[in-house]
Amino acid sequence: MKKRLFIFGTGNFAEMCHHFFGEEDSGYEVCGFTVDAAYVEGRTEFRGLPVMAYEDLLASPLREGAELFVAVGVGKINTLRAQKVEQVQKDGFTLASYVSPLARVPKGFVARPNVMIMDQVNIHPDVEIGADTIVWSNSRIALKVRIGEHVWITSAVIGDSTTIGDYSFVGLNATVAPFVQVGSHNLIGAGALITQDTKDYEVYRGARSKPSRVSSLRIRNIPLIS
């Protein structure tokens, strides 16, 4: 029998969560969405399911036996999601987690509360991933990596024996070299390369491509494409 689930949020991440939790093999039945009353804004449904004010859900018999997944993005470097996770736990909800059947994880891997491991993620043995951490599709996490709580990793490569501090964000196609210690609350941008330890609250931007002065109309041949 599938567990009943409410998803907190109605943004793009919540939509993605509905897609994954809605799969037949997820073990969950998504019953609806919930947000704080101030953000309902007259909406009654999202993706064909009801939207309830969180305050109403707390007082509703629908909460009995239902779990919750907090689908809040990276606002304020994951702090907003962390605050909501803390609140719903105090309110007595059990937090769900999700590991895609298309992810490659070590035998016996157990996801902590409000963790999502998406499809095509490759996690090597002896990896620890803290609660409320999101690992986006196509990320690769090598041997003996330690990832803190409230982290967001977007299709990145994390080298072996690396530590990622709490609340950090690792952007699309970023690479963290082996044995590096990444501080807490770090913002590592798309395409960034981290080869040495970082301090807390640091920002690393990846190199940004600049447009050529030559128009694409003047390009006669593109190597490797025929």
Task: Kindly list the structural domains of the chain, giving each domain's residue range(s) and its CATH number in brackets, ordered by start.
Answer: 3-96 (3.40.50.20), 102-204 (2.160.10.10)
**Whole-number pLDDT of residue 224:** 47
**Whole-number pLDDT of residue 223:** 63
What is the model's pTM? 0.93
**Whole-number pLDDT of residue 41:** 86
- Tens digits of residue pLDDT in 175-226: 999 999 999 999 999 999 999 999 999 999 998 888 988 888 887 766 644 4
> Which sign does the torsion angle of CA 109, 115, 117, 118 carry?
positive
Q: In the chain, which stretches have pLDDT less than 50?
A: 224-226
Strands 45-46 and 49-53: antiparallel
